[in-house]
């Protein structure tokens, strides 16, 4: 069973993108989301690429990365070292 954290962070990313579109963007909320994503992906072996200095333009890229890594974990192509 895969961590529920992946779908939660993907949903949160879609919400942030929507907030950006409607000019309701909160920089602190975005920074916290990026840190949560970075922490989750750092528990993968091999660790996937993560943008160095992400900003609002990277939201879709990060959501797609989370989706891709979740699939790779399910297919056992990447090992997840955190709690499931």
- At 4-20, the pLDDT tens digits run 899 999 999 999 999 99
Each residue of 40-59: pLDDT tens digit? 999 999 999 998 898 888 99
Report pLDDT for 2: 62
Number of domains composing the chain? 1
pTM over 0.85: yes
Work out the average pLDDT over 12-39.
93
Report pLDDT for 1: 47
Q: Bridge-partner residues for 45, per DSSP?
A: 79
Q: CB of 57 within 8 A of CB of 21? A: no
Angle (deg, nearest 10), helices 5-21 and 27-41? 150
Domain that holds residue 17: 5-80
């Amino acid at each position: 069973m895969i961590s529920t954290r992946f779908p939660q962070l993907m949903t949160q990313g879609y919400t942030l993108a929507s907030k950006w579109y409607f000019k309701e963007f909160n920089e602190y909320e975005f920074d916290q989301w990026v840190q949560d994503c970075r922490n989750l992906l750092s528990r993968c072996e091999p660790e996937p690429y993560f943008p160095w200095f992400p900003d609002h333009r990277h939201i879709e890229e990060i959501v797609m990365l989370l989706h891709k890594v979740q699939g790779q974990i399910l297919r056992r192509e990447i090992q997840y070292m955190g709690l499931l």
